[in-house]
Amino acid sequence: MALKLLLVDPDSDWLKSATEHLQKNMYQVKSVTNGKDAQIAMYNEKFFAVVIGYMVQNHSAMQVLKFIKTNYSAQRVILIMEDENPFKSGETSIDKLIKIGATEVLVKPFTFEALSSVLEGHQTLGDLVSSLPQKEGTSEEVEVQMADENFISIKIDEFYSSKAVLFDIFIKLNSGRYVKILHAGDTFSKERLDKYKVEKKVEFLFFHKSDRRKYLQFTNYITNKIVKNVSISGTHKVDMLKTVSEKFSQEVLEAGLKPQVVQQGKEICTNVYHFIEKQDDLYKLLRNFHEADPSSFTHAFSVTLFASSIIKQFEWQSRATIENTALACMFHDIGKSKLPPELLNKRPADFSDQERALYQQHPQLGAELVEGHILINHAVKQIILQHHEYYNGTGFPGALKNSRILTLANIVALANDFVHIVIDKKVTPVEALKTMLVDKPLVARYNSAIFEKFIRVFADPGKLVKENILPSNSKIVPNRKAS
């Protein structure tokens, strides 16, 4: 069943072209040229979204927005501005328009593809499924030729599907040649997938980059079920979380911090929280954690996993602290996207003074990127800003000391340094911990209470209590209280 849209704009030519484009994208479109007809249409029918032009008259767009807010407060409304003049003249602002009831504001000129992608961003999983073309069974295989950079790969064992396949799935023959083995809307067939795996030794499936958001949405949904399922192994759960985080980091880099993208990041963090809370033998998994394919995309997840595990050791831990810190970890190095790529290919040890100064701006650049984002709260922004500050004042950008550094930021700094040691020295987490323990200047970077909890991440909690290996007044490192 196609999703219904209501288009409201005084320009009939624009309405006609927009309708044609959106119908091709599986929407059912109703269009009207004035506000009064728009209200009547909403009274009679339910719409997935209303797309309304700012210049609409009789009733004006602002009147319609108020009408929607009063009567249909859950209605998604995309407000189209003719140009930026009303913002420049101070007549209105995006904040004001959102307060009145716009879900999102688009300023002309924009392509119809951009409009489609905004609409798609608001689809829930249920909307996605119900907008699929109706089919029974499975379509024939089709060979396609398309450049590799248009595709994303996923391990066949980590692919999950709803009953109806949400997007086209391919296998790769060789560079630039793919076979579409499942079409969007097909009934998912596990047998068919197993056949490719067993008979044709297929290890990876591929899908279009443009379907990555749908992938994230569905995978987050299914991961939420899986992390709570005790019969599924912890290793498998970590792999799923890692893969979805990696695809999320790629989406952020390419699509930016759109609300629908950030929302997926928040869902990953909720899943990380549930995983950490429910996994009794977490310490075993973390001891054996190894990163087969370290990249900047998987780095964010590794830091998330260890920082969240450290927080779990504290009595004051809560869902909010873990989720906020996890989100900060997901974005902690986002400021690097503003640095010249050649700088990022260099090792920090090889930086010139000028390059180092530039590199050290990345926490500030990251904090600026997320500044003002309604879905990212102040605590997350502060952690991003302080993720390289050290307890002894040797960090950057502020060379902050002691309690001027947020405890959560110091935890992220520790998790970040630790993950770098694991990857750079190609050692196990326990070996990395041993390296750290004998490196006094390194240990001095962190609040001692945090470092002590960090050691506990790798210890069997049962034995800790039983054998009293690490009593609470342990003097492994001088005892200072984490605030």
As a whole number of angstroms, the distance between CA 91 and CA 245 comes to 41
Residues 6 or more apart whose Cβ sits within 8 Å of residue 110: none
Question: Is 374 within 8 Å of 273 (Cβ atoms)?
Answer: no
Question: Is 294 within 8 Å of 403 (Cβ atoms)?
Answer: no
As measured in angstroms, the least distance from the Cβ of 412 to Fe ion is: 9
CB-wise, 141 or 424, nearer to Fe ion? 424
CA-CA-CA-CA dihedral for 83, 87, 92, 93, to nearest 10 = 110
As measured in angstroms, the least distance from the Cβ of 332 to Fe ion is: 6
CB-wise, 213 or 332, nearer to Fe ion? 332
As measured in angstroms, the least distance from the Cβ of 340 to Fe ion is: 16
Three-state DSSP state, 7: strand
Question: Is 200 within 8 Å of 156 (Cβ atoms)?
Answer: no
CB-wise, 62 or 365, nearer to Fe ion? 365
CB-wise, 260 or 416, nearer to Fe ion? 416
As a whole number of angstroms, the distance between CA 157 and CA 154 comes to 8
CB-wise, 97 or 272, nearer to Fe ion? 272
As a whole number of angstroms, the distance between CA 43 and CA 294 comes to 54
Residues lying near Fe ion in the complex (CB under 5 A) are found at: 333, 416
As measured in angstroms, the least distance from the Cβ of 388 to Fe ion is: 6
Instruction: For 70-139, list the strands marked E by DSSP.
Output: 76-81, 104-107
CB-wise, 313 or 416, nearer to Fe ion? 416
As a whole number of angstroms, the distance between CA 2 and CA 122 comes to 15
As measured in angstroms, the least distance from the Cβ of 344 to Fe ion is: 11
As measured in angstroms, the least distance from the Cβ of 417 to Fe ion is: 9
Residues 6 or more apart whose Cβ sits within 8 Å of residue 334: 252, 366, 369, 370, 384
CB-wise, 77 or 365, nearer to Fe ion? 365
As measured in angstroms, the least distance from the Cβ of 262 to Fe ion is: 19
